[in-house]
Amino acid sequence: MSNDLVILKDISRIYHKGKERVEVLHRLDLTIANGDFLALMGPSGSGKTTLLNLLGGLDKPTSGSVKIGDAELHNMSSSALSKWRAVNIGFIFQFYNLLPVLTALKNVELPLLLTNLSAKERKKRAATALSIVGLDDRADHYPRELSGGQEQRVAIARAIVSDPNLLLCDEPTGDLDRETADEILKLLQALNRDHNKTIVMVTHDGQAAQYAQYTLHMDKGTLASRESA
């Protein structure tokens, strides 16, 4: 039985800006094994974020196939993709994207609103996720009352609370100082190592990429090279 979680075949993604045709990804093939922690690096416009969006079912390829687990994302409807994302994907953004009107605990609980869990069970699971990222004492704090690093930890807790296989991180340390960034990266490493999460991390930061098992370098919409840590 194959251990591959992600199989991308002959992926192209073309945008149109007015009359201009922009091919962001060009006939890209990629396989990611279950339990991998990889960094995606490359210059701006090389297609890193577009690739991440395709992996998360936020965007569809112009051509080619995206298979994650048993799901063929390129064939799925918007509604089916939403349901699939809720179960299978955890997103971590550069600017955390927490809802400012909700406490840390309620932010973490958000993805669980899409499940049939009782309110009590949702709260319990959100509290567990917060304790995994070391923020159980900040459960009732609003995002404005947290530091950048703490906000990102809450975002990570939100990403893992529904226990998805795949975590997609878009510049997760881009807004943090070095010391805090290292803490976050260690946390991601622990999630990969101890909880067997497959992690794809887009980054510009070479030091951040060192925490991944390997780094894929992208250039002009293709995979240019692979570098092991």
Contacts with other proteins, residue ranges (CB under 8 A): 53, 56, 58-59, 78-79, 82-87, 91, 93, 95, 97, 99-102, 106, 110-111, 113-114, 119, 158
Q: How far apart are CA 77 and CA 188, in angstroms?
A: 31
Cβ 32 to other proteins shortest distance, Å: 20
Q: How far apart are CA 37 and CA 195, in angstroms?
A: 12
Nearest to 73 by CA among 5, 21, 18: 5
Reduce the DSSP state of residue 115 to 3 states and report it: coil
**Nearest to other proteins of 13, 217 (CB atom):** 13
Cβ 34 to other proteins shortest distance, Å: 21
Cβ 223 to other proteins shortest distance, Å: 21
Q: How far apart are CA 195 and CA 215, in angstroms?
A: 21
**Nearest to other proteins of 63, 207 (CB atom):** 63
**Nearest to other proteins of 18, 100 (CB atom):** 100
**Nearest to other proteins of 24, 185 (CB atom):** 24
Cβ 45 to other proteins shortest distance, Å: 13
Q: How far apart are CA 86 and CA 89, in angstroms?
A: 6
Reduce the DSSP state of residue 31 to 3 states and report it: strand
